[in-house]
Structure 1
Amino acid sequence: MLAYAGGDLLAFETLYRRHRGTLYRFLLRSLRHRADADELFQESWSRLVAARERYRPEAKFTTWLLQIAHNLVVDRFRRQRPQASPEETETVLRSLDAPESEQPERALSEFEQRRRLQLALEELPEEQRIAFLLRVEGGLGLEEIGEITGAGRETVKSRLRYALARIRARFQA
């Protein structure tokens, strides 16, 4: 990011290639509507471009990028909380991860597991879902999640613990 801020346009391409998947998955699972995720994906990169000269490497780049995305998600929820049906979520997940030439029963089992996880995520309160996605999708630590969400370390731990307990309960049901 420092190279890009200094004018190296190839550095932006590297950043984009490395982080686009993590950013998009976070947005898609946070918002549940592909159109909203697409919009905020573009907006996140636009904000990154606009803020490149103000970037300071005080945290990991991923933390900074996901902070931008999280703020956009929060703004979107404040304006209007989107709701996706399980069928819409299923369609999006299927289009993202369509198995190629696997055995049909294995593909169905993996699809069912992904669907159950998505449904479990949809049932989580927003704070727990965001913390869980930042941890699992973003690979962030407690402090980094706290920086992004504005919550303390212990609050983040609690949110993750409750999210995991709810997801486990959903899978056991």
Structure 2
Amino acid sequence: MRAPHNAQVPALPSPDDTNDTDEALMLRYAGGELGAFDTLYSRHELAVWRFVFRSVKVQAVADDLLQDVWFAVARNAGSYEVKAKFRTWLFTLAHNRLVDHLRTAKHHASLDASDDDERSLVNTLAADSGFGPVRQLQSREQAAALIAAVEQLPFEQRQAFLLQAEGDLGVQEIAQATGVSFETAKSRLRYARASLRQQLQEFAP
């Protein structure tokens, strides 16, 4: 399994997989079709890696956790049922593995994001038309300020925010992934956004 940030050319799905839903592909993989796993991996590896990396802040650890998440997908394939979107199920696995890791971690290194990492998060957030001043972020200085602001969020708020920004999950899906109520997930997301807006006021138009 490769680390997504080092990938130069993404894996191309076979023509038969191009229009298949994630859920259909996962069921096919559970039935023994290994190529379906490759397609799922190529679709979601980068988003999962970014989600994990922005929480652990150490590239090597993020790489290891990414592998753990996809090994969990493989281990649980036999019991997989379409009860929610595959993406929700996948990020639930990622969140749970991340929580397990952080519970046992002794310390964490500071975030050292590359230009690509910064632009990735900025571009993701810029696509969210409801996030106001973040859409105006363009310079490296502004991107660095955004990364720093996300890092300073309390863990629960940061998880909710990144699950939406990186995982493209809705509030109900965030609640499911983190094991909390809809109102709790909504509240965490609201507080995260309010905090980021406050920290990024100087960049508002």
TM-score normalised by length of structure 2: 0.73
Partner of 2:166: 137
User: Hey, which of these two has a bigger chunk of helix by percent?
Assistant: 1
Partner of 2:30: 5
CA 1:94–1:46: 2 relative to 1, 3 Å = same
Q: Which amino acid aligns with 2:185?
A: V
Which of 113, 116, 123 aligns to 2:142? It is 113
Report whether the alignment pairs 1:94 with 2:115: yes
Partner of 1:47: 72
Partner of 2:126: none
Which of 123, 126, 150 aligns to 2:155? It is 126
Q: Quick one: distance in 1 between partners of 2:52 and 2:91? A: 9
Partner of 1:59: 84
For structure 2, which runs of at least 5 residues remain unmatched after alignment? 1-25, 121-136
Aligned-partner SS, 2:32: coil
Query: 2:51–2:167: 8 Å Cα contact kept in structure 1?
Result: yes
- Report the alpha carbon displacement of residue 19 of structure 1 after superposing the two structures with TM: 0.6
Instruction: Tell which has more relative contact order, 1 or 2 (C-alpha 8 A, sep 6+).
Output: 1
For structure 1, which runs of at least 5 residues remain unmatched after alignment? 100-107
Partner of 1:147: 176
Partner of 1:18: 43
Deviations 1:125-157 (A, max 9, x none): 000000000011111111110011111111111
- Report the alpha carbon displacement of residue 169 of structure 1 after superposing the two structures with TM: 0.8
TM-score normalised by length of structure 1: 0.86
Query: Number of residue pairs matched?
Result: 161
Partner of 1:156: 185
Partner of 1:104: none
What RMSD, in angstroms, separates the aligned Cα atoms of the two structures? 2.0
Q: Quick one: distance in 1 between partners of 2:177 and 2:195? A: 23
Query: 1:142–1:153: 8 Å Cα contact kept in structure 2?
Result: yes
CA 1:78–1:167: 2 relative to 1, 3 Å = same
